[in-house]
Amino acid sequence: MATTVPGAMPIPSRPVKGNHSPGEVRTCDTTGLPVCITAQKFVKLHAVAAVIFLLIGGVGAILLGLTRWPAVHLLSAEWYYRILTLHGLNMLIFWILNFEIAILYFVPTTLLNTRLYSAGLAWVGFILMTVGALMVDYIIFAGKADVLMTSYVPLLAHPVFYLGIILHAVGALIGVGNYFGTIYIAKRDHTYEGSVPLVVFGATAAAIIAVVTLLHGAVTLIPTWLWSIGLMGPPDPGWYRITWWGLGHMSQQVNVCAMVAVWYLLATLTTGAKPISEAVCRGAFVLYILFINVASAHHILVDPGVGASWKIWNTSYAMYLAVLASMIHGFTVPGSVEVAMRKKGYDQGLFGWLVSAPWSNPGFSGFFLSLVIFGFGGGITGVVLGTQQINIMAHNTLRIPGHFHVTVVGGTTLAFMALTYYVVPLVFRKEFYARGLCRLQTWLFAAGITMVAVGMSFAGSYGVPRRTWDAEHSGATFAVGVDPGAHVMLGLLGVGAIVAFTALFLFIGLVVAAVFFGKSNAGKAMEPWHVERAVPQAARSAHADPDHYVPGTVVLTGVFLACFAVYYFANWKWLADVWWVR
Amino acid sequence: MSIQTLQEGWFKAPVGAERAWIGIAFAWCMVMTVAMPYWHFYGKQNATGESYRVTPIEYTQRVAKFIETYQTGEISGFPIVEPPPGADAYLQAQMWKWTPVLKLKKGQSYRLHISSLDLNHGFSIQPVNMSFQVLPGYDHVLTLTPTSAGEFSIVCNEFCGIGHHLMTGRILVTE
Ligand code: HEM
Ligand SMILES: [Cu+2]
Ligand SMILES: [Cu+2]
């Protein structure tokens, strides 16, 4: 037994009755949890692939940031669109999906004490994902797929482009299948008792949504590929947008789900937190599964071909019940940290627990910053921009990338970075160098991406379009005036891009140094990221109900709701001032 | 702990602040649920998605007829067309121009048809900052009432190839 992660509550040992073959399992020297050796191999493979695609996407990011900054305007038009295609796919699909498959292999095998269902399937999935991604990147660089990641028909790319995405998606689907197989054999072989842990529950929710998502991908891209090789007529442009966004938006819900599961995991690893109410957390994940399959509507709110009632019902996720789920997690996650910290004696005032939280642990700072950025930034803007009529003022402006760079980047990507500070010592069993830089990295990335998103959002409010090489439209027949305020905001975007890219590059450098040249910690516990001072029993105050005493979280969520309401109604007010349209 | 299995009896209803928050959050979701239908009936800005099938060839014919009927001038090689209030007006999107230049009256409403001859385009009126999607094969009808006068730009805000940033147009609104 025994944990040596300071600050974490001891994780009791349990009788190991796993289903591994001899020699196929090891006991984690830090947490005491069983680690399936086969699963560990594929976790490593997918994690390495993920980081490589993050690097490719990251180089794209800085080039794009410096192009959208009018004072620099780095790339040519041709290369701007090429790199935009590259950035979107490598980041949103290849980096995120690879990391998620790594999570899906790691979580059930370790927490349910089971072996991975099939090493063969895992190989097939990994190879398909990798080959598919390399095909896509190759054809983009060859200049034969300047269609952006959405490839709206009748834009036409080289067939290799569609085929690469299809292979990557099929590979991911096989990985998800392997996850379900693993859950199945764990249950069959009784490797655990009772109900699955919350993190497994959340990962399962993500996996279920992923299946639906990837099927939409197949339905959209297989006909498009057949068209590109001349076997079918062109798909209908309106139909294409609806089904493509069944892939595109729903995959964001996979990301949200996976990110929330990672929040719960990191809250436990870094502060020993446990959910205030398991029933509530699980119920919220169920709401995700039930209500987010309609989200493709968010992208077609000002489209022809679909009517107002369809748009209104679907964009609200059927009465905002998926939003409700996120708001619930937004309370229970910080609440669980607050309860854990207060119980340890960090009990001063409203926010003593937060001030004394292990900020020097990048696993904690990354997780908590991700929570704040996602909630205050991504969540609020997402609901507002996805309000059917308000979307008229936001569609295809820079407000849209402004929104998703604080969800999938400031939220999901940052949470995954934070988790990596545990994955490397626990799965690769290597220690990080330059631990001061590790501690700085999460803050730097959070600051940079927040600047990027704020710059984009405000520039978009001035009407600056997304996906446009030249915001000045210079050379166009009819000149378009650009507000000076928009220039300032595009400058902020550029500076933020430099900061965020620096942090991203630093992250990759630290990970590579640790994985390939780091000190092995096999046989002993990982070096702790933080050491907790014990608070003497005498200095602790007693609360009537310490398991539910969360005044700090109540204030935080109150402030959140106030910001939400102000931004929401302000946007209706702005909408009331534009031209009338029906 | 979120990484441990749960044994019998884990299911407990929420209490205290957590329970209150769920209630408040649900109430807020209901406020937002009501807001959109409310605005649909009482608000002045709605994207109803009214649209009809049309082939690019049919559409060019309608645009040509519209220009012929109501043209009043020319600017930078584009016809200026002034439909009477309440009439159907046509705008044609193609790589990389908007035809024609429309001249409208403030406070009057028009049935503005937009469609594309080739790819997706984005119909974005600046600086009022309103955007609508334009698809080939779909005749997208906006019942539009300009509420301010002046010279407005049309910007394409959906990627439509290398000349996408050059795709601008004009709407003139007189008092
Ligand atoms: C260093 C961090 C990053 C910076 C500075 C950055 C910057 C940018 C910029 C400037 C654009 C172009 C916006 C436009 O002109 O329309 C963009 C687009 C985009 N970014 Fe990022 N980004 C970063 C990280 C990420 C990550 C980690 C993801 C996903 C996980 C991501 C997903 C996207 C997507 C999906 C697009 C839209 C592509 C399209 O319009 O087709 N970005 N980003
Ligand atoms: Cu265009
Ligand atoms: Cu365009």
Tokens at residue A325, please? 């789920």
Please, is A74 exposed, middle or buried when counting C-beta atoms within 10 Å of its C-beta (0-12, 13-18, 19+)?
A: middle
Q: Binning pLDDT at 50, 70 and 90, where does residue A313 land?
A: confident
Residue A11 has pLDDT above 60, yes or no: no
Pairing of β B101-105 and β B71-75? unpaired
Looking at ligand 1, which atom is closest to the CA of residue A504? 1
| Residues of A whose CB is below 8 A from B100 | none
pLDDT in the model for residue A538 = 65
Over the range A173-209, which residues count as b (16 or more CB within 10 Å of their CB) and which as e? bbbbbbbeebbebbeebebbeebbbbbbbbbbbbbbb
Mean pLDDT along residues A565-570: 97
Residue A2 has pLDDT above 60, yes or no: no
Closest CA of chain B from A114, distance in Å: 13
Q: Which residue has the tokens 């197989």?
A: A181
Q: Which residue has the tokens 């996408």?
A: B164
Rounded CA-CA distance A382/B32 in Å is 13
In a domain, B106, yes or no: yes
Residue A516 has pLDDT above 70, yes or no: yes
In degrees rounded to 5, what are phi and psi of residue A36?
-75, 125
Q: Binning pLDDT at 50, 70 and 90, where does residue A429 land?
A: very high
| Residues of B whose CB is below 8 A from A565 | 28
Question: What are A510-517's contacts with CB under 8 Å, separation 24+?
Answer: A510/A432, A510/A433, A510/A434, A510/A437, A510/A438, A510/A441, A511/A51, A511/A420, A511/A424, A512/A51, A513/A432, A513/A433, A513/A434, A514/A424, A514/A428, A514/A430, A514/A431, A514/A432, A514/A433, A515/A48, A515/A424, A515/A428, A515/A430, A517/A433
Residues within a 6 A CB radius of ligand 1: A 58, 61, 64-65, 68, 84, 87-88, 91-92, 95-96, 148-149, 401, 405, 408-409, 413, 449, 452, 466-467, 497, 500-501, 504
| Residues of B whose CB is below 8 A from A156 | none
Which is more confident, A150 or A291? Answer: A150
In degrees rounded to 5, what are phi and psi of residue A489?
-70, -35
> What one-character-per-residue DSSP string does A231-260 give?
SSPPPPHHHHHHHHHHHHTHHHHHHHHHHH
> What one-character-per-residue DSSP string does B74-142 give?
EETTEEEE-PPTTSEEEEEEETTEEESEEEEETT--EEEEEEESSS-EEEEEETTTEEEEE-BTEEEEE
| Residues of B whose CB is below 8 A from A469 | 164-165
Rounded CA-CA distance A301/A431 in Å is 48
Strand order in the sheet with B101-105: B71-75, B78-81, B101-105, B168-174, B150-156, B121-126, B130-134
> How does pLDDT run across B90-141, given as a tens digit for each residue?
999 999 999 999 999 999 999 999 999 999 999 999 999 999 999 999 999 9
The residue segments making up the domain with residue B35 are 13-46
Per-residue confidence in pLDDT tens, chain B, 175 aa: 688 888 878 888 888 899 999 999 999 999 999 999 999 999 999 999 999 999 999 999 999 999 999 999 999 999 999 999 999 999 999 999 999 999 999 999 999 999 999 999 999 999 999 999 999 999 999 999 999 999 999 999 999 999 999 999 999 999 9
In a domain, B102, yes or no: yes
pLDDT in the model for residue A534 = 78
Same domain? For B36 and B70 the reply is no
Q: How far is the CA of A47 from the centre of ligand 3 (A)?
A: 37
B100 upstream amide cis, omega within 30 of 0: yes
Let me know how long chain B is.
175
Report how far apart, in Å, the C-alpha atoms of B102 and of each of A537, A565, B87, B108 are: 78, 38, 12, 13
Q: Binning pLDDT at 50, 70 and 90, where does residue A291 land?
A: confident
Residue A127 has pLDDT above 90, yes or no: yes
Q: Which residue has the tokens 């534009």?
A: A578
Select from A479, A572, A582 the Cβ nearest to the Cβ of B46: A582
**A11 by DSSP, 3-state: which?**
coil
Alpha helix (H) residue ranges in A250-379: 250-271, 278-291, 308-315, 317-343, 352-355, 362-372
Looking at ligand 1, which atom is closest to the CA of residue A96? 30
Q: Binning pLDDT at 50, 70 and 90, where does residue A511 land?
A: very high
Overall CATH class of domain A358-470+481-523+544-582: mainly alpha
Q: Binning pLDDT at 50, 70 and 90, where does residue A295 land?
A: low
Rounded CA-CA distance A364/A530 in Å is 10
pLDDT in the model for residue B8 = 79
Which numbered ligand comes closest to the C-alpha of A465?
A: 1
pLDDT in the model for residue A542 = 74
Answer for the pair A496, A451: CB distance below 8 angstroms, yes or no.
Answer: yes
Mean pLDDT along residues A439-456: 98
Same domain? For B79 and B95 the reply is yes
Mean pLDDT along residues A562-582: 97
pLDDT in the model for residue A7 = 42
Same domain? For B63 and B38 the reply is no
Torsion angle of C-alpha atoms A88, A94, A99, A104, degrees rounded to 10: 120
Closest to A350 in 3D by CA, of A53, A500, A559: A559
Same domain? For B64 and B106 the reply is yes
CB contact under 8 A, B32 and A320: yes
Q: Residue of the nearest CA to atom 6 in ligand 1?
A: A61
In testing the pocket of ligand 1, which one of A62, A83, A91 has its CB within 8 Å of the most ligand atoms?
Answer: A91
Residue A449 has pLDDT above 80, yes or no: yes
Tally C-beta pairs within 8 A across A and B: 314
C-alpha torsion sign, points A493, A496, A501, A504: negative
Same domain? For B22 and B99 the reply is no
Tell me, what DSSP letter sits at residue A295?
Answer: G
In a domain, B7, yes or no: no
Q: Binning pLDDT at 50, 70 and 90, where does residue A253 land?
A: confident
Residue A3 has pLDDT above 60, yes or no: no
In a domain, B130, yes or no: yes
Answer for the pair A275, A281: CB distance below 8 angstroms, yes or no.
Answer: yes
> To the nearest whole number, what is the mean pLDDT of chain A?
93
Residue A443 has pLDDT above 90, yes or no: yes
Residue A263 has pLDDT above 50, yes or no: yes
Residue A5 has pLDDT above 70, yes or no: no
Same domain? For B136 and B76 the reply is yes
Q: What is the CA radius of gyration of chain A?
A: 24
In a domain, B141, yes or no: yes
Tell me how many domains chain B contains: 2
pLDDT in the model for residue A294 = 63
In a domain, B41, yes or no: yes
In degrees rounded to 5, what are phi and psi of residue A37?
-65, -40
- H or E segment at A117? none
Amino acid found at A125: G
Same domain? For B39 and B62 the reply is no
pLDDT in the model for residue A9 = 45
Residue A193 has pLDDT above 70, yes or no: yes
Same domain? For B61 and B19 the reply is no
Mean pLDDT along residues A232-255: 91
Question: For position B128, which CATH number holds?
Answer: 2.60.40.420
Domain boundaries, chain A: 358-470+481-523+544-582
Rounded CA-CA distance A88/A136 in Å is 12
Amino acid found at A12: P
Please, is A28 exposed, middle or buried when counting C-beta atoms within 10 Å of its C-beta (0-12, 13-18, 19+)?
A: middle
High-pLDDT (> 70) share of chain A, %? 96
Answer for the pair A172, A217: CB distance below 8 angstroms, yes or no.
Answer: no
Residue A15 has pLDDT above 80, yes or no: no
Same domain? For B22 and B63 the reply is no
Same domain? For B24 and B106 the reply is no
Same domain? For B121 and B76 the reply is yes
Which numbered ligand comes closest to the C-alpha of B117?
A: 2
In degrees rounded to 5, what are phi and psi of residue A47?
-65, -40
Mutate to test the interface with A, among B3, B42, B44 (most CBs of A within 10 A): B3
CB contact under 8 A, B127 and A579: no
Closest to B164 in 3D by CA, of B95, B65, B112: B95
pLDDT in the model for residue A293 = 62
Amino acid found at A385: L
List beta partners, residue A56. none
Mean pLDDT along residues A526-539: 83
| Residues of B whose CB is below 8 A from A194 | 5-8, 10
Tokens at residue B105, please? 């009256």
Residue A13 has pLDDT above 60, yes or no: no
> How does pLDDT run across A201-223, given as a tens digit for each residue?
999 999 999 999 988 888 899 99
Answer for the pair A167, A132: CB distance below 8 angstroms, yes or no.
Answer: yes
pTM of the model: 0.95
